[in-house]
Amino acid sequence: MKKVFGMLLFMALVAVFAPGAQGQVIVIANNSVKAADVSKSDLKDVFTGGASSLKDGSHVTPVLLKSGAANDEFLSAYVGKSDTAFKASWRSLVFSGQATMPKSFDSDAAVVEYVSHTAGAIGYISKGTPHDGVKTLAVR
């Protein structure tokens, strides 16, 4: 019984203190974006096609990862959708003539490369990925 209790306590502590998914992904933007941070709600609006600017007026264009852990974590933490549901919602906008599908890339490095050279681009990558030439946006 003690062992079971101990195990449950250990799992609870791990759950409480383990780094959350949001800690594994960072949001990056082209240096032309004036904002230094972004709210979760604005981030969700931008990445679901509901907005094309941040609160400070910076015009932004979302850039996606095609797949992978960072992609899944970002969508789960900030958009609240699975990758399948997320892509389906974008297709809904595309096929009804309301939006163009955001550019998507195979790797974090490719996202960094594109964001660094594209005014207004905003994307997400794994925390450990080198990201010289872009700015990091804190998520409030």
Partner 1 sequence: MKRFLVALGVLFLAVGTARAQSLDDLNIQIHGYATQGFAYTTNNNILTMKSSDGSPQWTDAVVNVTAQPTSKLRVGVQARYMILGNLGNAITLDWAAVDYKVNDAFGVRFGKVKTPSGLFNETQDIDPSYMWSLLPQGVYPLMSRNSLLSHYGGVVYGTVKLGQSLGKLEYRGWAGGRNLPGDDGYFLNQSESGETLPNGISWVLTGEALHWKAPVSGLMIGASNTQYRSASAPLLYGPYSGAENLSVFNSPSYFAKYEKNKVMVGGEYIRLLVPYAVALTGLPVNPGVLDERSWYGMASYKVTDKLMIGLYDSQSVDHKASLGAARDSMDWAISGRYDFNQYLYAKAEEHILHGTLVGYDITLNPAGLQPNTDMTIFKVGVSF
Contact footprint for partner 1 (CB under 8 A): 50-53, 59, 61, 80, 82-85, 87-89, 91-92, 94-101, 103, 120
Q: How far is the CB of 66 from partner 1 (least distance, A)?
A: 9
Residues in a beta bridge with 37: 138
Give the position of tokens 């941040």: 54
The Cα–Cα gap between 34 and 59 comes to 9
Closest CA to 113 of 132, 126, 97: 132
Nearer of residues 127 and 139 to partner 1, judged by Cβ: 139
Nearer of residues 36 and 94 to partner 1, judged by Cβ: 94
Instruction: Put the strands of the sheet holding 61-65 in their side by side order.
Output: 37-38, 135-139, 25-29, 121-126, 61-65, 103-105
Nearer of residues 26 and 58 to partner 1, judged by Cβ: 58
Q: How far is the CB of 37 from partner 1 (least distance, A)?
A: 16
Q: How far is the CB of 84 from partner 1 (least distance, A)?
A: 5
